[in-house]
């Protein structure tokens, strides 16, 4: 597949790094969840980050989506960003899903919502849709591990091997203590995360400036939060599950499927996999000039696309 020439990509509007206040709410297990909350009174649209992200990855999406009539809710998953880390190390996909449901349903009082999610957030969004029938009316799913589907073998799926720079998966999953010892300072921890935005080629080249990389990596300077963020990778190496996530297909929730083709972690095998897993879908649509972080890299495409496909929910 021919890579998109960065010279063709228009400049992206980036709000100031202090544009949105952070709110805190107790959700489950006595833990506080941090979240962005704009456009209160609109239709609830939940934006779920993955790794190596926090709610900051949605900085280019929050304002335009709120202006389009959505109540935008972008949480830090437990253990990430400004959300609390559980003292009992209770970190897995089902905990993330139940926390988000508690925030949206119990704290903010919404019976239904739409969800936009990539990376770790993608499986969380699928679990939300299947664990709580009727709660997720629409889903947007991109650049992550798809639901398992009979007849489609995920054992060699690209994201599970981490692509050409996939050593991070084994280090974070099987040898977290050793890796943490290799990252003894704030600067070293931030550099580990920065590589995902730069040299490890998760992103399309040129889509993050050094200042923007600093913005994304700042929450990972804290060792405890960095280590907490590795929990999903440890599930393949013996980390116990609180419950089995609902990650089997077919998924019947109406879903917009997107793919940033410059991603060196999630390869083009994503496309047939999601076609098999989602029965009621638009796409998959390939977003040019975008990699793993397509919501940031091509916000100029993603925001209008979400308004066009989910906008009837905001105006009914």
According to the model, what pLDDT value does residue 179 have?
98
- For residue 119, being part of any structural domain is answered with yes
- For residue 303, being part of any structural domain is answered with yes
Give the CATH number of the domain where residue 254 resides.
3.40.50.1820
CA atoms within 13 A on the CB side of 6: 10
- Indicate yes or no: pTM above 0.95: yes
Q: Quick: pLDDT tens for 29-59.
A: 999 999 999 999 999 999 999 999 999 999 9
From CA 100, how far away is CA 305, in angstroms rounded? 24
- For residue 27, being part of any structural domain is answered with yes
Q: Quick: pLDDT tens for 123-174.
A: 999 999 999 999 999 999 999 999 998 877 787 888 888 777 789 999 999 9
Computed over every residue of the chain, the mean pLDDT equals 95
Q: Quick: pLDDT tens for 108-117.
A: 999 999 999 9
From CA 257, how far away is CA 282, in angstroms rounded? 6
From CA 55, how far away is CA 73, in angstroms rounded? 9
- For residue 215, being part of any structural domain is answered with no
- For residue 132, being part of any structural domain is answered with yes
- For residue 185, being part of any structural domain is answered with no
- For residue 174, being part of any structural domain is answered with no
- For residue 58, being part of any structural domain is answered with yes
According to the model, what pLDDT value does residue 282 have?
98
According to the model, what pLDDT value does residue 7 have?
66
* Full residue range of the structural domain in which residue 113 is found: 6-160+242-314
According to the model, what pLDDT value does residue 6 have?
66
Contact 62, 72 (CB under 8 A): yes
At residue 99 the predicted structure's pLDDT band, cuts being 50, 70 and 90, is very high
According to the model, what pLDDT value does residue 213 have?
98
According to the model, what pLDDT value does residue 2 have?
52
At residue 1 the predicted structure's pLDDT band, cuts being 50, 70 and 90, is very low
Mean per-residue pLDDT for 300-315?
A: 96
Which of 107, 96, 124, 133 lies closest to 44 in space, CA to CA?
107
How many residues are there in the chain? 316
pLDDT exceeds cutoff 80 at 8: no
Mean per-residue pLDDT for 265-281?
A: 95
Count of domains for the chain: 1
Residue 45: enclosing H or E segment and its boundaries?
strand 43-48
What is the percent of the chain where pLDDT is above 90? 89
């Amino acid at each position: 597949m021919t890579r998109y020439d960065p010279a063709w990509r228009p400049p992206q509007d980036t709000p100031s790094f202090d544009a949105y206040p952070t709110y805190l709410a107790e959700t489950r297990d006595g833990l506080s969840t941090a979240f962005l909350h704009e456009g209160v009174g609109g239709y609830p649209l939940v934006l779920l980050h993955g790794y190596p992200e926090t709610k900051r990855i949605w900085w280019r999406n929050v304002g335009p989506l709120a202006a389009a009539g959505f109540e935008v809710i972008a949480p830090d998953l437990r253990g990430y960003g400004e959300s609390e880390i559980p003292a009992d190390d209770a970190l897995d996909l089902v905990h993330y899903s139940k926390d988000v449901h508690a925030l949206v349903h119990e704290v903010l009082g919404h019976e239904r919502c739409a969800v936009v999610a990539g990376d770790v957030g993608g499986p969380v969004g699928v679990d939300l849709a299947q664990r709580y029938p009727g709660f997720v009316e629409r889903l947007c799913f991109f650049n992550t591990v798809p639901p398992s589907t009979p007849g489609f073998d995920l054992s060699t799926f690209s994201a599970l091997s981490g692509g050409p720079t996939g050593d991070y998966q084994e280090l974070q999953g099987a040898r977290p203590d050793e890796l943490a010892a290799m990252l003894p300072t704030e600067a070293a921890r931030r550099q580990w995360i920065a590589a995902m935005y730069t040299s490890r080629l998760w992103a399309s080249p040129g889509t993050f400036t050094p200042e923007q990389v600093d913005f994304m990596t700042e929450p990972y300077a804290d060792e405890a939060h960095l280590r907490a963020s590795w929990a999903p990778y440890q599930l393949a190496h013996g980390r116990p599950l609180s419950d089995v996530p609902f990650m089997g297909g077919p998924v019947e929730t109406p879903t917009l499927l997107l793919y940033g083709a410059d991603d060196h972690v999630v390869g083009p095998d994503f496309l047939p996999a999601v076609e098999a897993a989602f029965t009621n879908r638009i796409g998959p649509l390939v977003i040019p000039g975008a990699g793993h972080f397509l919501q940031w890299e091509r916000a100029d495409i993603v925001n209008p696309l979400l308004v066009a496909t989910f906008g009837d929910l905001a105006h009914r």
